[in-house]
């Protein structure tokens, strides 16, 4: 294999926790954007109907992917804006004077958002932290803090720092016992692990089409359970929040009856168009085979990690782990230099602090894993 082919074929690509790849990704996205350019650049009156049709296809793909009821999903620029739109829509009885429960190993952007919203929405942000010397927040510690005073609980399906997979069924069952609204950030799990928004049924879901789904930035989603959705009054609203977006009487605003009420101004459609090839590709795959391929490669890395002086940061049990492996590099190693040297050998990884993150996906090969392990042996 030539060096150029090693770059192109994705065999040494371990960044599916960041930006995933699928076969012919560049070509298929380019074709999709060219089709969009042809729509947007044609001198007729069909630009909006066709462009919004692409957005509707994107929403349909997502509803099918997570088995969400029709009309319960809409687009968002990213996970943070999706969560803002939802939390900003909840009636006071779910938030005021209550606690919003979250784990410290959530995606930090969401904690930044919620800590800023707490004062004006009147809730206390209750952050459950990992035990001293441990890398992830235990489900039992999260449950221990979860009583009837919790108005909303935000779960992280799979964490970005350790790949810890929460016990979603047990946590949602507890939510029903306490009467809390429960939502889940599925960003690091969807596309590699099965997720069904109705089994167990969650109240809301936020995600992006990046990472294991291999889409583009700007293609986030928000799902809200239909029975809760009709209670929501998003404060971030606009003409697209209405049942009839062309109802322009400024004194007669009415929310749409479905997830469109979480829309606001003119929506972005380019990210949806660019992400459709990835969603179409995923829909054509056998999810079991994608996961089995990942498990085979992560097992090979796991077997060699002790020999290389790499300490496991992720859970050892596959049932408690997402698709990534996080490994603590030895104290003598410089994280930035390690990533740079691996990159020079067409091996693509990243580090968060002293944690090396490895996420083998559909294009990563056993040969790529062998090259990675050999390179780590030489470097470390």
Write the CATH number for 172: 3.40.640.10
State both tokens at 261.
């009420």
- The rounded mean pLDDT for the chain is 97
Average pLDDT over residues 242-270: 97
Same domain, yes or no: 228 and 159: yes
The reply to whether 74 falls in a domain is yes
- Give the whole-number percent of the chain exceeding pLDDT 70: 98
Q: What is the pLDDT of residue 7?
A: 53
* pLDDT tens readout for residues 346-371: 999 999 999 999 999 999 999 999 99
State both tokens at 368.
């790529």
C-alpha 325/C-alpha 164 separation (Å) is 10
The reply to whether 86 falls in a domain is yes
Same domain, yes or no: 172 and 129: yes
Same domain, yes or no: 257 and 321: no
Q: Does the pLDDT value for residue 124 go beyond 80?
A: yes
Q: Does the pLDDT value for residue 295 go beyond 50?
A: yes
* pLDDT tens readout for residues 135-184: 999 999 999 999 999 999 999 999 999 999 999 999 999 999 999 999 99
Same domain, yes or no: 328 and 222: no
The reply to whether 265 falls in a domain is yes
Exposed (0-12), middle (13-18) or buried (19+): which is 149, by Cβ within 10 Å? middle
Same domain, yes or no: 276 and 188: yes
Same domain, yes or no: 296 and 272: no
Among 283, 300, 324, the domain boundary falls at 283
Number of domains making up the chain: 2
Residue 373, helix vs strand vs coil:
helix
Average pLDDT over residues 32-44: 97
User: Domain span at residue 250?
Assistant: 49-283
Same domain, yes or no: 8 and 156: no
Write the CATH number for 12: 3.90.1150.10
Same domain, yes or no: 290 and 187: no
Average pLDDT over residues 266-281: 97
Average pLDDT over residues 262-291: 98
Exposed (0-12), middle (13-18) or buried (19+): which is 18, by Cβ within 10 Å? middle
């Amino acid at each position: 294999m030539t060096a150029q082919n090693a770059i192109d074929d994705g065999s040494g690509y371990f960044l599916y926790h960041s930006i995933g790849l699928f076969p012919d990704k560049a070509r298929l996205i380019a074709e999709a954007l060219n089709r969009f350019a042809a729509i947007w650049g044609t001198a007729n009156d069909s630009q909006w109907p066709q462009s919004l049709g692409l957005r509707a296809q994107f929403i349909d793909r997502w509803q099918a992917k997570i088995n969400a009821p029709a009309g319960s999903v809409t687009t968002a620029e990213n996970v943070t804006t999706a969560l803002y739109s939802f939390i900003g829509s909840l009636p006071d009885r779910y938030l005021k004077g209550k606690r919003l429960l979250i784990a410290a190993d959530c995606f930090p952007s969401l904690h930044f958002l919620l800590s800023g919203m707490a004062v004006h929405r009147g809730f206390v942000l209750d952050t459950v932290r990992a035990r001293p010397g441990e890398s992830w927040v235990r489900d039992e510690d999260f449950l221990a803090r979860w009583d009837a005073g919790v108005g909303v609980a935000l779960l992280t399906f799979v964490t970005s720092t350790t790949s810890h997979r929460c016990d979603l069924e047990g946590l949602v069952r507890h939510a029903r016992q306490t009467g809390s609204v429960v939502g889940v950030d599925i960003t690091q799990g969807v596309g590699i692990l099965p997720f069904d928004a109705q089994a167990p049924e969650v109240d809301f879901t936020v995600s992006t089409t990046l990472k294991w789904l291999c889409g583009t930035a700007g293609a986030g989603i928000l799902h809200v359970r239909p029975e809760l959705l009709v209670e929501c009054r998003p404060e971030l609203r606009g003409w697209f929040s209405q049942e009839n977006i062309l109802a322009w009487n400024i004194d007669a605003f009415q929310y749409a009856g479905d997830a469109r009420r979480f829309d606001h101004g003119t929506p972005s459609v380019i990210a949806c168009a660019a992400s459709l090839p990835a969603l179409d590709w995923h829909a054509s795959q056998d999810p079991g085979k994608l996961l089995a391929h990942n498990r085979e490669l992560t097992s090979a890395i796991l077997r060699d990690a002790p020999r290389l002086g790499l300490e496991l940061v992720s859970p050892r049990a596959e049932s408690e782990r997402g698709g990534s492996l996080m490994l603590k590099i030895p104290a003598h190693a410089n994280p930035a230099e390690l990533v740079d040297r691996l990159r020079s050998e067409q091996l693509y990884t990243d580090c968060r602090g002293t944690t090396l993150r490895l996420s083998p996906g559909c294009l990563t090969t056993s040969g790529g894993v062998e090259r990675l392990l050999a390179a780590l042996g030489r470097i470390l």
